[in-house]
Chains A and B, each alone.
Chain A
Amino acid sequence: MATQSLIGTKNRAGQVVTDAWKLLHEAERTPCFYTGSEVIKEAVRRSNCDVMIAYPITPQSEAAALIGELFAEGFIGDYFRGESEFAVMSQCAGAAFGGARVFTTTAGPGTMRAMENFPMWAGARLPIQMIVTCRGINSPLSIQPDTLEISYLLNTGMLVWHAETAQDFYDWILKGYMVSEEPDVHLPLALCCDGFFVTHTKDVVNLTPADMCLPPYDPYRSPVPCMDMECPPVRMMRDPFVMKSNYISYATHASWQQEVWAAIERSRKHTIRWLDGLIEVDKPDAEIQIVSSGTAVSQGREAQVLLEEDGIDVGIVKIKALRPWPEDEIREATKHAKHIIVPEFNVTGWLAKEIRATIPNPERVYAGPHVCGGMTMPPEVIAADLKKHLGLKAESLAGRGS
């Protein structure tokens, strides 16, 4: 079956199957004022999705419940709820093994509970798309944004993208399927955003026409057979050949893992094409660069304005894809930088650690400011930290009064 031959035909909901590049780059856009959760729903409406499995973690995002409405309207082939996040992710695997385009959402503790499934998805080469509306993962519970869970996803073998805005989120949900379903990639995608900031706030988002949709997933292009109980990877779950104690079995498993990471490498050229680069750079010649991902980029832009008012020239590097990791791009973008500031919404500073491991002279990296647990990160804090780092006088924003 060639998806190309289906262009111009109608899907189950009466939407016209449209070439994905034309849909995203040439189709008329309509500005709409939506919450991030509503934007997720609108993207899924146009994604020609076969199965959505939900654990409706409503406090963090209403997306799972809203997509239920899409099922009632006939836009989703099948939709049901799982008993837990772990069950949902296992059921997603089953649907993808069967050759379906699958969508799901998660956040925070749910991501952690389902974690066992993510390397399994990657190892089985299942191109499931999972929206991660990041929130706090530790006790005491928080539904506020915190990006610590992304760091746990980085070594699962999944593609990991980090959206800054609702517009990113809308476009990247659709583009994500195009990248992750390429036969030389064929990996799950964790499409992350900073929950609450993106999901619960309203923004103007330019939507493609609702009567047009992506071409359907073509499972015949998969690099592994569809559901087949006799073949790895399914067979290894009932007959774990890789647990045999001999060199061949170990070498097979090792090669299998290498192939997953090779597929992430192959995703690089597709991701660059669809996202217009793995990073976005503003003022590459500036000696101070704010390098970040997600909504920390937005705060960085505001800090850039404040600092420029004080005569301090600052560039911005927005990291869009975390896997594949934009190693060459970050090196190039920071080659003139004397100071690299990495603001993050998490306590460990995982992004700063990744950047330090990537660039020459890593002492240039200042890991901070950090906020977590749902705290906001005012641009004044970024500007003040940067000034202190440079040895300049900066006002403390921690308290009031004298």
Chain B
Amino acid sequence: MSTMYQVLRGPEHFLPPAAASMGIRLPDPGQAHIHGKIVNEDEAMEVAARQFLSAKVPTIFPGPLVLWAWNEKAAGKATAIRHLYETIKECVTPSQQAMLIPMPDYRPKYPKINPEIEINPNHPNLTIWHNKIDTCMFVGVHCHQANLSLKIIRGGTYCYTIAMCAQAGHEDAMVSFRDATADKIRKLADWVKKLKGSVEPPKDD
């Protein structure tokens, strides 16, 4: 199915469609996608790094697959994610606020989530609105929950979404990588460092 649909910043719709149903296809190994267009991975690395550097509140949402050291790979990815976060923090201006907010589990939070300390896949917009997050990256979130969240975010917020997926990637993110490893996350940190100073920081409202 050919498509004119693009995966862009929201707020898109009362109930936006799943991007896969609009003809957006997942990248093959070695590829990524930007707004639904298949590109090589380096191109997406640069776009993701620029998004982090140009955002007011660039944020990483690590999920349970990397928050718990259930195997060596998970522990390695967690260390790489911390490195990426520290790199973003070092590379942005004082007016920008890098954040690292976990998605520790997928339980609906009642009576109310504390959006300062966590994000939930069933109502991710609450954490994004509360912290005024304008760029975020999902990593270590189970694919079904990540797609759910990414679509809800696109529907109701202005947030730019990046997915660093360990499996096949996410059509519902604006930029998606696949087959994520600790090395790939560190490579993104290298891109952020490389582009430091070359990206215009966000203007004050």
Contacts and interface: CB of A to CB of B under 8 A. Distances in A.
Given A241-B108, A258-B17, A262-B19, A327 B1 contact: yes
Nearest to B143: A223
Contacts of A327: 1
B130 interface: no
Contacts of B122: 232, 241, 248-249, 252
How big is chain A's contact interface, by range? 20 to 34
Nearest to B178: A184
Contacts of B151: 255, 258-259
B124 to A, nearest CB: 10
B26 A255 contact: no
Contacts of A182: 168
B106 A259 contact: no
A160 to B, nearest CB: 17
B142 A223 contact: yes
B144 interface: yes
Interface string B146-161: 0110011001100000
B107 A235 contact: yes
Nearest to A252: B122
A203 B21 CA distance: 39
Contacts of A252: 122-123, 148, 152
Nearest to B125: A248
Given A230-B107, A265-B20, A255 B148 contact: yes
Contact of B168 (A183, A231, A239): A183
Contacts of A235: 107-108
A269 B25 contact: yes
A223 B167 contact: yes
Interface residues of B, number: 33
B145 interface: yes
A278 to B, nearest CB: 12
Contacts of A262: 18-21, 147, 171
B105 interface: yes
Interface in A293-329: 327-328
Nearest to A266: B20
A327 B64 CA distance: 38
A183 B143 contact: yes
Given A183-B168, A327-B1, A258 B144 contact: no
B4 interface: no
Interface string A172-200: 00000000001110100000000000000
Nearest to A222: B142
B127 to A, nearest CB: 12
Contacts of A224: 142, 144-145
A237 to B, nearest CB: 13
A261 interface: yes
A45 interface: no
> B interface, by DSSP: helix, strand, loop or mixed?
loop
Nearest to A124: B144
A230 B104 CA distance: 12
Interface string A226-267: 000011100100010100000011011011101101110110
Interface in B84-131: 105-108, 110, 122-123, 125-126
Contacts of B167: 183-184, 221, 223
A351 to B, nearest CB: 21
A189 B153 CA distance: 30
B31 to A, nearest CB: 13
A259 B15 contact: no
Given A184-B168, A231-B105, A248-B123, A255 B144 contact: no
Contacts of B1: 327-328
Give the one of B18, B21, B107, B151 with max A CB within 10 A.
B18
Given A224-B144, A258-B17, A184 B26 contact: yes
A139 to B, nearest CB: 38
B62 to A, nearest CB: 16
Contacts of B105: 230-231
A4 to B, nearest CB: 13
B18 A259 contact: yes
Contacts of B144: 125, 186, 223-224, 259
B129 to A, nearest CB: 12
A232 B168 contact: no
Contacts of A221: 167
Contacts of B64: 225
A184 B19 CA distance: 13
Closest 5 CB pairs of A and B: A223-B143, A262-B20, A262-B18, A241-B108, A223-B144
Interface of A: 125, 182-184, 186, 221-225, 230-232, 235, 239, 241, 248-249, 251-252, 254-256, 258-259, 261-263, 265-266, 269, 327-328
Given A186-B144, A249-B122, 8 more contacts: A184-B26, A223-B142, A225-B142, A248-B123, A255-B18, A255-B152, A255-B155, A258-B21
5 contacts: A224-B142, A230-B107, A231-B106, A251-B156, A262-B147
